[in-house]
Structure 1
Amino acid sequence: MSRRSGAWIDMQFITASISTMLVLLLLGAVVFFVLAANNLSVYVRENIAFSVLVSDDMKETDILRFQKELNAKPYVKHTDYISKKQALAEQSEAMGTDPAEFLGYNPFTASIEVRLNADYANSDSVAWIKDEILSNKEVIEINYPQDLLDAVNRNIRKISLVLLGIAALLALISFALINNTIRLTIYSQRFLINTMKLVGASWAFIRRPFLKRNAWVGILAGIMADTVLAVIAYALVRYEPDLLAIVTPEVMITVMGVVFLFGVVITTLCALVSINRYLRMKTNELYYN
């Protein structure tokens, strides 16, 4: 092996690393959107609130006690108590007028706004949760945006299936692109591989430097792709802090781990397949492949 071809880092190495990095960036972006979409669905479902209207005869201390009981339920994420006075103030602001002025009384009732944990934000769970809450005789009504919940769950399922399909397709495309890049790299060394084979070098000995080199291509490409993805995620959260509920550290760690692992495994595997192909070839076949 010449000094030029044996150089650990050369233009061919850099080109292969950059090409692989670009492919990993696309793959990482799709994995990110899949995981972020799941967090978004949880965020949306946990922020669909329903109102538990309580009787005017119920004292505020009893309402607060009932709120505490609701907070202890496994299906409750969070609750907010809205008194009659607060409800009147909010509606007056929304309507631009005070209904109590021409009615002579406050027409609104005290209520508790309940937000469910995402796992319970579905039609089946809501049905028995409403029955359980209505078993309290002081609860007069429950208002829940059932149509909105059904639409959200339906659209989330559709989006998740589309994203998973795109992720699977892009994984195949990524494999093909990285495989072609590595095959071209090893193709240029096919005569060197054959020469080493002819002088008696074992297949394992011949494979080792190529596998090591391409593993480093995957490592470098994975690190570069992860760095770019981390910078983009940081910029998004810095620009809009509320996105931290969706672009969580767990999401980024998972995305970066998948990208890095995929890069190393795919580059090494593709190199192994390509090397074995040329190791099996006879000398005269090298001129036609």
Structure 2
Amino acid sequence: MGKNKTSFFDMQFITSGISIMLVLLLLGMVVFFVLSANNLSKYVRENISFAVMLSDDMKEPEALTFQKYLSEKPYVKDCMFISKEQALKEQTETMGTNPAEFVGHNPFPSSLEVKLKANYALSDSIRWIEKEILSNKKVLEIDYPEDLLNDVNGNIRKISIGLLCLAALLTLISFALINSTIRLAIHSKRFLIHTMTLVGASWGFIRRPFLWKNVWIGVFAAVLADVTLIGMAYALVRYWPELIEIITPSVVLIVMSSVFVFGVLITLICSYISINKYLRMKASALYYI
């Protein structure tokens, strides 16, 4: 019993596991960035606000009612009322002087600061939202940074495509690297595999222990990679607490699951292919590989 355990968890098991763990770690980081980029785009879009300027005819109680009306719209994430006095105070702090002292009255209208939900923070959506809000005759105008919004959406689209291409490329590279690692491990057992075929062992019987061992190598590598990724995510959130909006528990869970499933499946598939290669090989060919 002890002898079998020692031969199973040998140095080859550990070195193969660490090699595969490094590949899975790199792959997990790319998946992590792809998912985080989606949350980042949502976070940025939902924090771009536009101002709804209200006429002086709209008194504060009516403005608060209009604020509540907009807050209940499906496209609004947040709506905040800014009174004439608050606007004057903010501008005075920004400019360092009180504009009312020069013009003799408060020149700033009351307004609503509106933040949209990410799915509606697009130029086409904002156009019909603007028309709907302007249907209220006491709304003077709507000021939103259209150029900034277009730049953000364009850059996010480019980054997302780039990350997806990188993820696809890295998946192929990961498959090749893990396949090479497992083939090297099985290569040293090629004569044992051939001997077992000579004594009449079935292919399924020969494959079973190799597949089982490599699946456990995949589990070992995936667990190490997941632990490392969790540590990195925790360190980032601890250093920048604001990142909790981007590095959400669901992102971490999806990344961990992806790394684990990929680690197990890829080791199983690669070991199956490699073993079959040596099972089909003639004895004379074993000496030349």
TM-score with structure 2 length normalisation?
A: 0.98
**2:191 alignment partner in structure 1:** 191
Whole-angstrom CA distance in 1 between matches of 2:196 and 2:68: 77
Whole-angstrom CA distance in 2 between matches of 1:10 and 1:87: 71
Q: Percent identity?
A: 64
**1:84 alignment partner in structure 2:** 84
**2:34 alignment partner in structure 1:** 34
**1:167 alignment partner in structure 2:** 167
Give the letter aligned to residue 137 of structure 2.
K
Give the letter aligned to residue 253 of structure 1.
L
Q: What are the residue-to-residue correspondences of 1:62-73 with 2, within 5 Å?
A: 62-73=62-73
Deviations 1:90-117 (A, max 9, x none): 0010001000011110000000000000
**1:233 alignment partner in structure 2:** 233
Q: What are the residue-to-residue correspondences of 1:178-257 with 2, within 5 Å?
A: 178-257=178-257
Whole-angstrom CA distance in 1 between matches of 2:44 and 2:143: 18
Tell me which moved more, 278-287 or 216-225.
278-287
Whole-angstrom CA distance in 2 between matches of 1:186 and 1:213: 11
How many aligned positions are there?
A: 287
Give the letter aligned to residue 112 of structure 2.
I
**2:23 alignment partner in structure 1:** 23
**2:47 alignment partner in structure 1:** 47
Whole-angstrom CA distance in 1 between matches of 2:262 and 2:136: 54
1:282 CA drift (Å): 1.3
**3-state DSSP of counterpart to 2:260:** helix
**3-state DSSP of counterpart to 2:137:** coil
**3-state DSSP of counterpart to 1:58:** coil
**1:10 alignment partner in structure 2:** 10
Structure 1 gaps, min length 5: none
1:73 CA drift (Å): 0.6
Whole-angstrom CA distance in 2 between matches of 1:254 and 1:179: 24
Give the letter aligned to residue 248 of structure 1.
T
Whole-angstrom CA distance in 2 between matches of 1:180 and 1:72: 57
- Does 1:103 pair with 2:103? yes
Whole-angstrom CA distance in 2 between matches of 1:35 and 1:5: 39
Whole-angstrom CA distance in 1 between matches of 2:6 and 2:279: 19
Give the letter aligned to residue 217 of structure 1.
I
Give the letter aligned to residue 125 of structure 1.
S
Change (3 A) 1:5 1:177: farther
Deviations 1:165-202 (A, max 9, x none): 11111111111000000000000000000111110111
1:87 CA drift (Å): 0.3
TM-score with structure 1 length normalisation?
A: 0.98
Cα RMSD for the two superposed structures? 1.1
Structure 1 runs of 4+ off > 2 angstroms?
3-6
**3-state DSSP of counterpart to 1:7:** helix
- Does 1:277 pair with 2:277? yes
1:285 CA drift (Å): 1.4
Deviations 1:17-75 (A, max 9, x none): 00000000100111111111111110000000000011111111111111111011111
Structure 2 gaps, min length 5: none
